[in-house]
Amino acid sequence: MMIDSIYWDLDDTLLNYNDAFTRAASTSFAALHPFLSSHDVTYWLPHFKACCDDYWPAYEKKRLSRDRYLALRFHRSLQRANVASAVSWHSFEAALRQQIPRLCTFFPGISDILKKLTQQAIPLGMITNGSRSFQQAKLVALQLNQWLCADRIHICEEGTLQKPNPQLFSTVQTIHNDKAPLYIGNSWHLDIVPARQAGWQTIWYAPSSEESDAACLTTPEALLTKLSAYIEAAK
C-alpha cells in the first residue's frame, strides 16, 4: 500500500458537477428565454437532462460528433417540452459553459481532505478529460492550485490521449517518475479500470453515486480513512 503521489479526477469526484450543471442549465435557459415563466423552465429542465443521457452513449461511442451531440440534446429537449425558441444551441452552450465554473462547489469534506493531504510529503495532481479552458476555469473557481502541483495537472482534450486509455496513466507516471502513484476517481470504466491496467493503485470514490458495490466509497469519512491508511504505510 505504499504510495508516492496522488492524482484526482475532477468532475463528480472533487466537485459536484451534476449540481453545477443542473443549476447552470436552468439559469442559462431562463436568461435566454425571458418570456418563459419559472414553471416553464422547471418543466423543460428534466427533458434537457434526459436528452443529455439519451444521446451520450452514441457520443461516447463516436457515433455522434461533439457538436451534433450538443445540438441534439438542446433541440430535442425543446421539442419534448414543447418550447418554441429562436435560440441556437451554440448560444445556449456558450452561456452554459460560462455559468458552470461559477457554480462549481466541492463535495462535502473534500476541501478538508485536500488541506490534510498537503501537510504530507506526497505531491498531489490531477488527470481529467475535457476542454483545457473549461476545466481550467473550474480549477480557478475552486482555487485548486493551492493544493495541486501545477506541473501535475493533466487536462486531456478530445483528440489527445484520454481516459479510459491506460497509456495515459503510464505516460503521466513516466513524466513524473512516480514509483507508486494512486488515482482517485468516480467512474469505474473511465478511472479505475485503466489506472489499474497501468499498474496504479486506486480508490473508487463516487460521492453522488448510488453504487451498491462495497468497493465504491461514497462518504468523505470513508475516503479519509482509506487515504490515511495509504499515507501511514508510506511513512
Do residues 82 and 113 both lie within one domain? no
- The DSSP-derived string for the chain is ---SEEEE--BTTTB-HHHHHHHHHHHHHHHH-TTS-HHHHHHHHHHHHHHHHHHHHHHHTTSS-HHHHHHHHHHHHHHHHT------HHHHHHHHHHHHHHH--BPTTHHHHHHHHHTSS--EEEEEES-HHHHHHHHHHHTGGGTS-GGGEEEE-TTSS-TT-HHHHHHHHHHHT-SSEEEEES-IIIIIHHHHHTT-EEEEB-TT-----TTSB-SHHHHHHHHHHHHHHH-
Residue at a domain's end among 103, 125, 141: 103
Asked whether residue 159 carries a pLDDT value surpassing 80, the answer given is: no
For 177, the domain range is 5-16+104-234
Quick one: 47 and 134 in the same domain?
Answer: no
Mark whether 189 and 230 lie in a shared domain: yes
Same domain, 90 and 128: no
For 36-40, what is the mean pLDDT?
A: 95
Reported as a pLDDT band with limits 50, 70 and 90, residue 234 is low
- Count of the separate structural domains present in the chain: 2
Q: Are 117 and 202 contained in the same domain?
A: yes
Domain end point (choices 103, 122, 146): 103
109/172 same-domain check: yes
Single out the residue in 78, 103, 128 at which a domain terminates: 103
Say whether pLDDT at 1 is over 80: no
On whether both 114 and 215 belong to a single domain, the answer is yes
Confidence (pLDDT) at 213:
79
Shared domain check, 176 and 125: yes
- Is-above-0.85 flag for pTM? yes
Residue 230 has pLDDT above 90, yes or no: no
Considering the domain architecture, whether residues 111 and 177 belong to the same structural domain is answered as yes
* Residue-level pLDDT at 56: 95
For residue 211, the model assigns a pLDDT of 66
